[in-house]
Chains A and B, each alone.
Chain A
Amino acid sequence: MKATSDPFVRREMLAPAAPPITEAGAVKWMRENLFSSPLNVILTVLGIGAVVYLVSHIAPWMLRGVWNAGSLSECRQIIEARYGEGVTGACWALIRERWPQYLFGFYPSELYWRPVLAFVLMLVAIAPVLFDALPRKMLWFALVYPALGFWLLWGGSVWVPVMALAGFGVGYVAAKVVQPLAGTILASIAAVLAPVLWWLFAAGPVAAALESLIPIALQEVRSREFGGFILAFTIGFTGIAFSLPLGVLLALGRQSDMFIVNKLSVGFIEFIRGVPLITLLFTASLLLNYFLPPGTDFDIILRVIIMVVLFAAAYIAEVVRGGLAALPRGQYEAADALGLDYFKAQRLIIMPQALKISIPGIVSTFIGLFKDTTLVVFVGLLDPLKGITDAVRASTDWKGVYWEPYIFVGAIFFIICFSMSRYSMYLENKLKTDHR
């Protein structure tokens, strides 16, 4: 026992040594992750078995698929000729033939270049928002894009979207004029009120006047002709673009000390979240007409977009509120102590951190929103999943086809939603600053 209490002084520090061979490589990984315990061995075997079973049943059917055929019966003939009597396979030819319809719905075919151009420009517009390595000047294009995209898709006079954009200029000018006269708070009110008045009363007549002076117009396309993926994209991306800022405002409203602002925000959020989206869509398509003056032609897609935006914004508000609640009070105090006012503190200190925390929740909401665009079928719009597929299956050539269109539409939705999810992980990783 004496040995343990012997005085000891280390003269040389030990150098780090390599780990034993069983602690590295594929053997270690498999032992730890696949066969660490009897239960894990059973689960591994069952899991692999399930995957093999599913793939062995689905893959051959998909691989036997036919890409070149004019109808379902032709498909079946080709497969039976190739693989023998009674063998089934996928009839991908349907997608090949009805591809434009899935993309554009009943959009006039000679105008297909417009949605295509709008789509390409949309990619250009969102690129600088998603990746900050791109020049910041491109953000100006992102700001102008909603008006440009609107014009390309719906056509009509160019002055309508231009005057809509001009509303923001009106707000800016109003704020600049009021600020020195009446202070920041009244200037903020003017910045909101002036554009709203402009859009309600001035934008229409001014656009009409300018159109009669300098007519620049594209052929008009009516909302009922939209369908398929341009409909899903239009509703989905507009919804995403507008629901985030509205959601942030609602979250701030819910945190506000101002009684009325607070209660209005809470009421709005709780009401919208407490009602199924379909209810809101029905309200948009049917009820709204009762409240509007007779003869008003309030575009159906616009109505749906407004409802989708409100719906997603309520969810985003709650997600962002979670992010705000997760921030330590010290961040607010430090911002205050440095003399930053409320808006600067929110913009520079609070929101960047709260939004970072909320990224997974926000992206989940976006993914949900994008998938929910298929619900517009209930208000008579041709969504790609059911609207277009029903139209396709109503034709004699493709009567009886079942899985293929759903697999195809599902695959496209999956690609887009999965990209959003991946992007959110990339963003979280990029914004991680606590790497030690």
Chain B
Amino acid sequence: MSEAIAREIARSHMQVSDEIAIQITQMNKWYGTFHVLRDINMTVNRGERIVICGPSGSGKSTLIRCINRLEEHQQGQIIVDGTELTSDLKNIDKVRSEVGMVFQHFNLFPHLTILENLTLAPIWVRKTPKKEADEVAMHYLGKVKIPEQAHKYPGQLSGGQQQRVAIARSLCMKPRIMLFDEPTSALDPEMIKEVLDTMIELAEEGMTMLCVTHEMGFAQAVANRVIFMDQGQIVEQNEPKEFFNNPQSDRTKLFLSQILGH
């Protein structure tokens, strides 16, 4: 358990400031007539690491996809870094360039090399000179421990490596918030750890993170809040220790018994 204790100590050093990074008030969303997100209220402070879990179809992915407006909400307010998400394209682009996102299926660009995947957005969105963008990209590839793959194509990498590239690609935009949408769900068990290690490292540096995942070990190690969702609403949220040891709602208890049962 010494590793867990070390993590515990490390976590106590991670700073959570009072500054608000994301503020969601009374947000509702429908797919056609289906009410997929109901009365979501949520505040995320800068430096917080939040894990969102829940059964499939509970709206957790939809919720984080609303934060960079890959999905549009119909009611309520979402403010990211002081910018409200409306149909104003300028605001959307601004938020998107500040918020990094990592997908379940990596979504690397298969026609570009790893390095080109990483430098594309800095060059075309941030107007960074190519040389500088290359340097930044190599720095982050080093950080996710695959600098030697820079000139290969995504199709030549393993799933775990691709996901680490995807994380590095988001980091190259120097985001202030990172969203993870089930980042390890499409990976073989032996590759999950390498991706989680990268994410833990990121958390320890104080990145604001929202992570939809079923990796409860990760939640216990780095999260300072766990949110449980069911049927499009937030059912329970608490700090990880309380959440896992002393769940309050019956729905949460059932869910935890199902995923931790074996």
Q: Chain A: residues with CB nearer than 8 A to chain B?
A: 328, 330-331, 333-334, 336-341, 344, 348-349, 352-353, 356, 431, 433-436
In the complex, the answer to whether B125 meets A340 with C-beta atoms within 8 Å is: yes
Q: In the assembled complex, how far is the CB of residue B108 from the closest CB belonging to chain A, in whole angstroms?
A: 8
* B62 proximity list for chain A (CB < 8 A): none
In the complex, the answer to whether A339 meets B110 with C-beta atoms within 8 Å is: no
Main secondary structure of the interface of B (DSSP, over half): mixed
Report if B167 contacts A (CB, 8 A): no
Report if B36 contacts A (CB, 8 A): no
Report Cα–Cα, A349/B108, bound state, in Å. 10
Report if B68 contacts A (CB, 8 A): yes
Using known A-B contacts A348-B120, A433-B153, A434-B155, determine if residue A337 contacts B109 with beta carbons closer than 8 Å.
no
Residue of B with least CB distance to A330: B107
* B120 proximity list for chain A (CB < 8 A): 338, 340, 348-349
* A436 proximity list for chain B (CB < 8 A): 155-156
Please list 19 pairs of residues, one from A and one from B, whose beta carbons are closer than 8 Å in the complex, sorted by A's number.
Answer: A330-B105, A330-B107, A331-B107, A333-B103, A334-B103, A336-B96, A337-B68, A337-B70, A337-B96, A338-B96, A338-B170, A338-B173, A339-B121, A349-B120, A353-B109, A353-B111, A433-B155, A434-B153, A435-B153
Residue of A with least CB distance to B169: A338
* A339 proximity list for chain B (CB < 8 A): 93-94, 96-97, 121, 125, 173
Report Cα–Cα, A48/B151, bound state, in Å. 48
Q: In the assembled complex, how far is the CB of residue A171 from the closest CB belonging to chain B, in whole angstroms?
A: 22
* A337 proximity list for chain B (CB < 8 A): 68, 70, 96, 99-101, 103, 170
Of the candidates A336, A344, A433, which one forms a contact with B124 in the assembled complex, judged by CB atoms under 8 Å apart? Answer: A344
In the complex, the answer to whether B121 meets A338 with C-beta atoms within 8 Å is: yes
* B154 proximity list for chain A (CB < 8 A): 433
Q: In the assembled complex, how far is the CB of residue B2 from the closest CB belonging to chain A, in whole angstroms?
A: 33
In the complex, the answer to whether B110 meets A434 with C-beta atoms within 8 Å is: yes
Report Cα–Cα, A328/B96, bound state, in Å. 20
Q: In the assembled complex, how far is the CB of residue A289 from the closest CB belonging to chain B, in whole angstroms?
A: 46
* A349 proximity list for chain B (CB < 8 A): 109, 120
Report Cα–Cα, A348/B107, bound state, in Å. 14
Identify which of A333, A339, A353 gathers the most chain B CB atoms within 10 Å of its CB: A339
Q: Scan residues 124-179 of chain B and give those whose CB is less than 8 A from a CB of chain A.
A: 124-125, 153-156, 169-170, 173
In the complex, the answer to whether B124 meets A330 with C-beta atoms within 8 Å is: no
Residue of A with least CB distance to B96: A339
In the complex, the answer to whether B103 meets A330 with C-beta atoms within 8 Å is: yes
* A435 proximity list for chain B (CB < 8 A): 153, 155-156
Size range of the chain B interface in the assembly: 20 to 34
* A353 proximity list for chain B (CB < 8 A): 109-111
CB-based closest 9 A-B pairs = A339-B97, A434-B155, A334-B107, A330-B107, A338-B121, A433-B153, A339-B96, A337-B101, A339-B125
Q: In the assembled complex, how far is the CB of residue A331 from the closest CB belonging to chain B, in whole angstroms?
A: 6
Identify which of A340, A433, A434 gathers the most chain B CB atoms within 10 Å of its CB: A433
Residue of B with least CB distance to A353: B111
Residue of A with least CB distance to B120: A348
Report Cα–Cα, A330/B182, bound state, in Å. 14
Q: Scan residues 166-197 of chain B and give those whose CB is less than 8 A from a CB of chain A.
A: 169-170, 173
Of the candidates B100, B111, B125, which one forms a contact with A433 in the assembled complex, judged by CB atoms under 8 Å apart? Answer: B111
In the complex, the answer to whether B111 meets A431 with C-beta atoms within 8 Å is: yes
Report Cα–Cα, A431/B112, bound state, in Å. 10
Using known A-B contacts A344-B124, A436-B156, determine if residue A336 contacts B70 with beta carbons closer than 8 Å.
yes
Report Cα–Cα, A434/B68, bound state, in Å. 30
* A336 proximity list for chain B (CB < 8 A): 68, 70, 96
In the complex, the answer to whether A338 meets B110 with C-beta atoms within 8 Å is: no
Q: Scan residues 108-124 of chain B and give those whose CB is less than 8 A from a CB of chain A.
A: 108-111, 120-121, 124
Report Cα–Cα, A369/B89, bound state, in Å. 41
In the complex, the answer to whether B111 meets A352 with C-beta atoms within 8 Å is: yes
Q: In the assembled complex, how far is the CB of residue A188 from the closest CB belonging to chain B, in whole angstroms?
A: 14
* B153 proximity list for chain A (CB < 8 A): 433-435
Report Cα–Cα, A340/B119, bound state, in Å. 12
Identify which of B89, B96, B103, B156 gathers the most chain A CB atoms within 10 Å of its CB: B96
Report Cα–Cα, A336/B100, bound state, in Å. 11
In the complex, the answer to whether B110 meets A433 with C-beta atoms within 8 Å is: yes
Report Cα–Cα, A349/B154, bound state, in Å. 14
Q: In the assembled complex, how far is the CB of residue B45 from the closest CB belonging to chain A, in whole angstroms?
A: 23
Of the candidates A328, A338, A341, A356, which one forms a contact with B111 in the assembled complex, judged by CB atoms under 8 Å apart? Answer: A356
* B155 proximity list for chain A (CB < 8 A): 433-436
Report Cα–Cα, A434/B152, bound state, in Å. 10
* B89 proximity list for chain A (CB < 8 A): 341
Report Cα–Cα, A85/B154, bound state, in Å. 70
Of the candidates A328, A338, A352, A431, which one forms a contact with B125 in the assembled complex, judged by CB atoms under 8 Å apart? Answer: A338
Of the candidates A334, A341, A344, A431, which one forms a contact with B109 in the assembled complex, judged by CB atoms under 8 Å apart? Answer: A334
Q: In the assembled complex, how far is the CB of residue B93 from the closest CB belonging to chain A, in whole angstroms?
A: 5
In the complex, the answer to whether B93 meets A341 with C-beta atoms within 8 Å is: yes
Report Cα–Cα, A34/B120, bound state, in Å. 50
Report Cα–Cα, A436/B153, bound state, in Å. 9
Query: Mask for B68-94, Cβ within 8 A of A = 1, else 0?
Result: 101000000000000000000100011
Q: In the assembled complex, how far is the CB of residue A432 from the closest CB belonging to chain B, in whole angstroms?
A: 9
* B110 proximity list for chain A (CB < 8 A): 353, 433-434
In the complex, the answer to whether B156 meets A348 with C-beta atoms within 8 Å is: no
Report Cα–Cα, A181/B154, bound state, in Å. 42
Report Cα–Cα, A340/B169, bound state, in Å. 13
Other A-B pairs, 8, CB within 8 Å; known A352-B111, A435-B155: A331-B109, A334-B103, A338-B121, A338-B173, A339-B125, A340-B124, A353-B110, A431-B111
Report Cα–Cα, A328/B106, bound state, in Å. 12
* B124 proximity list for chain A (CB < 8 A): 340, 344, 348
* A333 proximity list for chain B (CB < 8 A): 70, 103, 107
Report Cα–Cα, A431/B110, bound state, in Å. 10
